[in-house]
Structure 1
Amino acid sequence: MADGSRYDDMETRPGEGRWTAPEEVWAAVRVDYLAGMSAPEACRRYGVGLTAMRLRASREGWRRTDQPWIPRSRLDPDDEGAELEARVGGNLDRVDLRELAWVAHRRMLRAVMRGEAIEALRWRRVHAAMEAEQDELDRFLEQEEAIQYMQAGADAADGADGADGADGADGADGIFSQPGEQATGDL
């Protein structure tokens, strides 16, 4: 158009008073619309009418409802979670909670970069929960190790007192007797 607008090569049909966008423009509208852009946004971006776009999409079969349904992968191909899932082969028992916390942290950062504050806060809570869960598991494992160590020490001390089961205090099996008395196992 002579007024300096974006599309100087748009045609006006004689007597109709309308112009038709070139096929390149419609191809770009189609690509963006099918990629997920809203119809009004695609029309604003390329300067075409919403009704014209809907009519053309219907006529040419590129409405979203005309497309085959393909379940989209919930993970971005660059997402660390996809790599982690592939590495463990889907076996969730092989996933360390610290690794899940790291994935949640990375997803939080990605959400912040996209300007999605609510999603970033959700991933922050997931990250904190995974860290807390791993800390609790670490404390539990440390307690179990301490108990096993103490039991091993007690077993070693019992073995040093004698193999006959005597407790070492009076030579009897847990019965303390006065010096000079015979220890009996009967109560």
Structure 2
Amino acid sequence: MTAPLHGKKVAFLCTDGVEQIELTRPWKDLEGAGATLELVSLESGQVQGYNHLDKADTFRVDRAINDADGDDYDALVLPGGVANPDDLRTNERAVAFVRDFMEKGKTVAAICHAPWTLVEAGVLKDRTLTSFPSVKTDIKNAGGHWVDEQVQVDKNLITSRKPDDLDAFCAKIIEIMSPAA
């Protein structure tokens, strides 16, 4: 049997301060479902993962944001952590990359604090999504509707609140990206 995501290419956009499990768990599940994955970051080299506030592993960057083209991917995953999306949202190229996925209706999956980058991209007006609770006001101020749900889907946007939601988050990404049966 062919993996459901065989032939699909997914970008993971993150930088130093990424919450490690929010990168590694979706990566493992999507890779297991047959997707081809690339880690995109602000610069080439490596990104530093964190387990909450403690340094964890580093991860090799496949493509710097200045060399990445959203047309090369079927979907985008935005892992959280506090420092990671806070840094991404100050980078014009990263924000434009995220905006491009949303405007083209491609699958975008964001967890925890990652919606901060979506707020900066100006793509949340009239969207329903979830996040870590501290991002709630930012989402509302950006015109979005915040809900406290394990996983929330609004058209092409999949969101979850925290690492405890990873089972539902990863399953929903695979379900949404899988070809119709």
TM-score class, shorter-chain normalisation, is under 0.3
Higher Rg: 1
Higher strand proportion: 2
Higher helix proportion: 1
Alignment TM-score, normalising by the size of structure 1: 0.20
